[in-house]
Structure 1
Amino acid sequence: MPSTFRIPKAELTGPYGRLLVAFTRRTFGEVPDVAYTLFHHKPILKATLAFERKAATWDRLDPHLKAYAVMTAAATVGCGWCLDFGYFMAHHDGLDLEKVRQVPTWRDAEVFTDLERDVMEYAEAMSTTPLGVTDWMVDKLTDQLGVEAVVELTKMVAVENERARMNAALGLASQGYADSCSLAPLGA
């Protein structure tokens, strides 16, 4: 389904635009729609890219748990673009795609471990208004993962909330990333 931009696509021009197009096509196969919106405000685009590069280096939380948490947050917020891209990244990162496919319906799925469920419950609780996080959730995850991993988990879910809410507000929808890895997502 094509995106329904609420802000017209910026023309990716000049040396920075050419570099952005080359990088995103090489990395993702096409230019993500979010790049067209952020290109309207290059300082925000540059800050976002720098932050995303830095966040990709964090390693205190298991990458599978991180992916499940991020996708749960996207599903809770209702960002189709984020879920679509999340499926693509999960494929790229070698996650179990049948399991990843079930993240939006994790409460009914039988494929997740207790720890994965705890992580997704936390991500969901962080992504609702009002916030649904409890002391018990944080204590349980801290016991299972350690403080550094819980801090990283919390930051990644917060970051995904920012991404998802921005993308949904700007009208970005699925770009077909999941199609490129033959993954039919379940409903969010």
Structure 2
Amino acid sequence: MPRIPGIPTRDAGPLLRLIYRFARRRFGAVPEPVTVSAHHLKLTIAGARHELAVQRASKSLPANVREIAVYRVAQQVGCSWCVDFGTMLQRHEGLDIQRLQQIDAYQTSPAYSAAERLAIGYADAMTANPMSVTDEQVAELRAEFGDKGVLELTYHIALENHRARFNSALGITDQGFTSGAACRVPVPADAATESAPE
């Protein structure tokens, strides 16, 4: 259970109910981070706008490279919610999620391409404390992805660090997106009032 309980639908105002409905239709369940951040509605709206804008703007990198780097950050930070949700997103992109079991051996595993290895290594370097990114590493990334691609990759890795640390700090854990059970996971305390997504 999160350290700050999420706002259930029955306690939500009209705008928050609309946000919940949109999230249900898009993901099959309202993501718990949304229900928790809903205590600060202006930040919830700002975050949703930002996420949509980032998604629309991110067209320079192949989805497999971007998603594997984001997944690695979630794994390294230890955010079970982000690992769960990120696995679902990769599955929806048609990516092989079985290979995620080999991610700790990414440097030698044939499950990962050279480009993916570069992205995972960069995610590790950016997520380390202190950061351990090197000039040589960025030069390799520029040669592989170009400046625009490196900026997109850097942005996504930094953004996932934000998400994963936010969720971990507030005790938000996995929700069942990977198993496909998320559509049966209600908004907090809604189990008695709502049985299915709208």
- Structure 2, unaligned stretches of length 5 or more? 182-198
Confirm whether residue 158 of structure 1 aligns to residue 155 of structure 2: no
Amino acid at match of 1:47: A
Moved more, 150-159 or 22-31: 22-31
Indicate if the aligned counterparts of 1:33 and 1:175 stay in contact, CA closer than 8 A. Answer: yes
Confirm whether residue 11 of structure 1 aligns to residue 20 of structure 2: no
Indicate if the aligned counterparts of 1:88 and 1:177 stay in contact, CA closer than 8 A. Answer: yes
Q: Give the 3 Å change call, closer, same or farther, for CA 45–115 of structure 1 in structure 2.
A: same
Cα distance in 1 for partners of 2:109, 2:75 equals 15
**Structure 1 residue 17, shift from structure 2 partner:** 1.9
2:27 maps to what in 1? 28
Which is higher, the Rg of structure 1 or of structure 2? 2
1:102 maps to what in 2? 102
Cα distance in 1 for partners of 2:33, 2:18 equals 16
Give the match's secondary structure for 1:179. coil
Provide the alpha-carbon RMSD of the alignment: 1.5
**Structure 1 residue 110, shift from structure 2 partner:** 2.9
Structure 1 ranges of 4+ moved more than 4 A: none
- Structure 1, unaligned stretches of length 5 or more? 182-188
Confirm whether residue 127 of structure 1 aligns to residue 127 of structure 2: yes
Counterparts of residues 1-188 of structure 1 (less than 5 Å): 4-12=1-9, 13-57=12-56, 58-103=58-103, 106-107=106-107, 109-180=109-180
The percentage of aligned residue pairs carrying the same residue is 36
2:192 maps to what in 1? none
Q: Give the 3 Å change call, closer, same or farther, for CA 105–81 of structure 1 in structure 2.
A: farther
2:184 maps to what in 1? none
Number of aligned residues = 178
Q: Give the 3 Å change call, closer, same or farther, for CA 98–179 of structure 1 in structure 2.
A: same
Cα distance in 1 for partners of 2:45, 2:123 equals 27
Moved more, 101-110 or 147-156: 101-110
Indicate if the aligned counterparts of 1:71 and 1:104 stay in contact, CA closer than 8 A. Answer: no
**Structure 1 residue 108, shift from structure 2 partner:** 5.9
**Structure 1 residue 105, shift from structure 2 partner:** 5.1
Cα distance in 2 for partners of 1:159, 1:20 equals 21
Indicate if the aligned counterparts of 1:66 and 1:153 stay in contact, CA closer than 8 A. Answer: yes
Cα distance in 1 for partners of 2:175, 2:19 equals 18
**Structure 1 residue 96, shift from structure 2 partner:** 1.8
TM-score (norm 1): 0.89
Give the match's secondary structure for 1:7. coil
Give the match's secondary structure for 1:129. coil
**Structure 1 residue 63, shift from structure 2 partner:** 1.1
**Structure 1 residue 157, shift from structure 2 partner:** 0.2
Give the match's secondary structure for 1:173. coil
Cα distance in 2 for partners of 1:126, 1:48 equals 22
